[in-house]
Amino acid sequence: MDKIVSLCRRRGFVFPSSEIYGGLGSTYDYGHYGVLAKNNIRSLWFQAMVQERDDMVALDSAIILNPRVWEASGHVSGFTDPLVDCRTCKLRFRADDLEHAQCGRKPSKHPGEHTECDLTEARQFNLMFQTHVGALEGEGSLAYLRPETAQGIFINFKNVLQIARRKPPFGIAQIGKSFRNEITPGNFLFRVREFEQMEMEFFVPPDEADHWYRYWIDERMSWYLRYGLRESRLRVREHGEEERSHYSRATSDIEYLYPIGWSELEGVANRGDYDLTQHTEHSGTKLEYVGEGGVRYTPWVIEPAVSIERILVALLVDAYDEEVVADRERTVLRLHPAIAPVKAAILPLIGKNDEMVARAKALQAELRKRHIVEYDDGGAIGRRYRRQDEIGTPFAFTIDEQTLEDDTVTVRDRDSLAQERLPLAGVPDWLGDALELPWKTPKGG
């Protein structure tokens, strides 16, 4: 993980936030390449979940909702983690996760194991951030930053049913920021207090719920495999009864083998009719499906939920590679081309040669109409290639002496390092096709 964090910092994917003021624990800002990679993850999720389907609509609900939403959903009373304080070192820990925490006095021990540890009784700590709406602070103005995007979907169920004229099975997909005042954030972007969730609620007839639950686990697994995560690093773990949330009929985590061990990448839950029933009771608005011939029922809900942060960390960890090529070390991000922040580099072999520069800039102008590409004429060509390898750029086009004679360029492949010559005029089509080809990581299964 340290190598990923340092690469992200060095190449401007991710910066610790508010750094000039000493930072703010586990809060990050995204730089240029981080923004590009996140845009790719977001749009590939949206493509698979909405664009390529007939049974899905999109939604973008507010972050601050009527606080009664969170009473109905159970978050005000139950969205808590058990917290303990140590009176000696003044640190706070999740009581249910002490085995992963370090004692403030002796990091090789867990809290409670050192003779000087003095832990309080566990108490429930609500993870929702509170705020106030309007100019007056008081009970009546209390509101919350949403801890998940899902509730915004449930409260719009009726709108979608009527206006988009949908009938179960159908889904509502949403991408947006969520906020949780985690007791122990950490492990880089894996657990942060502000993150971008991609959630989809799939409304189904109750007797089809199990089928769709299994369907969505499979769909989401194949999405990860399609975008290059190694199969050996992914697994599905079904929750036992004692682990499941109160609303859940069944839950499975799609886990990735992060450097911290197998951990939840995405959760897929069968939420039954819990949410629509709760909002019907609390709002007085009936949230049910009424079909032809007097059919009437409260749909059950299947929910795949993930954050862009956890996907980004998994992809970076999976892609990171170091190797020695011709006695030189290189660091390379073997990212799927669809995920890579920059799709191609355009490099004049000699940065001071006006003709090469002119050809390279003309190619850049052409390619940037369709793709994120980068022009670079600074320094030795080998160094420029390595700069691109480090950010995962799959292809580099080099303009050299021969280009000036016969209008061809070389294209270099990031993974195999193979080089071939192409007609300059054919580069836009070649790149468009190459980016569409199925891709498999050369790192193996």
Give contact residues for ligand ATP (rule: CB under 6 A). Answer: 180, 182, 191-192, 195, 197, 264, 266-267, 305-307, 309-310
Shortest distance, CB of residue 36 to ligand ATP, whole angstroms? 20
Name the residue number minimizing CB distance to ligand ATP: 307
Is 56 or 189 the residue whose CB approaches ligand ATP more closely? 189
Is 200 or 347 the residue whose CB approaches ligand ATP more closely? 200
Which residues have CB under 8 Å from 375's CB, separation 6+?
A: 345, 346, 347, 360, 361, 364
Is 217 or 427 the residue whose CB approaches ligand ATP more closely? 217
Is 197 or 398 the residue whose CB approaches ligand ATP more closely? 197
Shortest distance, CB of residue 83 to ligand ATP, whole angstroms? 14
Is 318 or 400 the residue whose CB approaches ligand ATP more closely? 318
Q: How far apart are the first and last CA of the chain?
A: 21
Pairing of strands 261-272, 300-307: antiparallel
Specify the residue for token string 């000039």.
20
- CA–CA distance, 195 with 243 (Å, rounded to integer): 23
Shortest distance, CB of residue 367 to ligand ATP, whole angstroms? 34
Task: Output b/e per residue, 315-326; b: 16+ Cβ within 10 A.
Answer: bbbbbbeeeeee
Shortest distance, CB of residue 250 to ligand ATP, whole angstroms? 13
Is 104 or 147 the residue whose CB approaches ligand ATP more closely? 147
Q: DSSP states of 86-120 as a string?
A: BTTT--EEEGGGGGGS--SS-TTS-TT-STT--BP
Alpha-carbon Rg for the chain in angstroms: 25
Q: Which two tokens stand for residue 391?
A: 């950010």
Please calculate the CA angle 90-183-109 and round it to the nearest 5 degrees.
Answer: 55
Which residues have CB under 8 Å from 361's CB, separation 6+?
A: 375
- CA–CA distance, 240 with 109 (Å, rounded to integer): 29
Is 308 or 367 the residue whose CB approaches ligand ATP more closely? 308
Shortest distance, CB of residue 16 to ligand ATP, whole angstroms? 16
Is 152 or 267 the residue whose CB approaches ligand ATP more closely? 267
Q: DSSP states of 358-400 as a string?
A: HHHHHHHHHHTTTS-EEE--SS-HHHHHHHHHHHT--EEEEE-
Is 255 or 374 the residue whose CB approaches ligand ATP more closely? 255
Task: Output b/e per residue, 229-253; b: 16+ Cβ within 10 A.
Answer: bbeebbeeeeeeeeeeeebbbbbbb
- CA–CA distance, 308 with 72 (Å, rounded to integer): 27
The distance from CA 10 to its chain's CA centroid, rounded to whole angstroms, is 21
Shortest distance, CB of residue 129 to ligand ATP, whole angstroms? 12
Shortest distance, CB of residue 189 to ligand ATP, whole angstroms? 7
Shortest distance, CB of residue 384 to ligand ATP, whole angstroms? 35
Is 267 or 337 the residue whose CB approaches ligand ATP more closely? 267
Residue 224 CB neighbours (<10 A): 22
Shortest distance, CB of residue 113 to ligand ATP, whole angstroms? 24
Shortest distance, CB of residue 241 to ligand ATP, whole angstroms? 16
Q: Kindly report the length of the chain.
A: 445
Which residues have CB under 8 Å from 259's CB, separation 6+?
A: 1, 317
The overall longest dimension of the chain from CA atoms, in Å, is: 79
Sign of CA dihedral 353, 357, 358, 360: positive
Specify the residue for token string 């808590």.
80
Is 264 or 321 the residue whose CB approaches ligand ATP more closely? 264
Shortest distance, CB of residue 195 to ligand ATP, whole angstroms? 4
Is 72 or 265 the residue whose CB approaches ligand ATP more closely? 265
Shortest distance, CB of residue 252 to ligand ATP, whole angstroms? 11
Specify the residue for token string 């990679």.
37
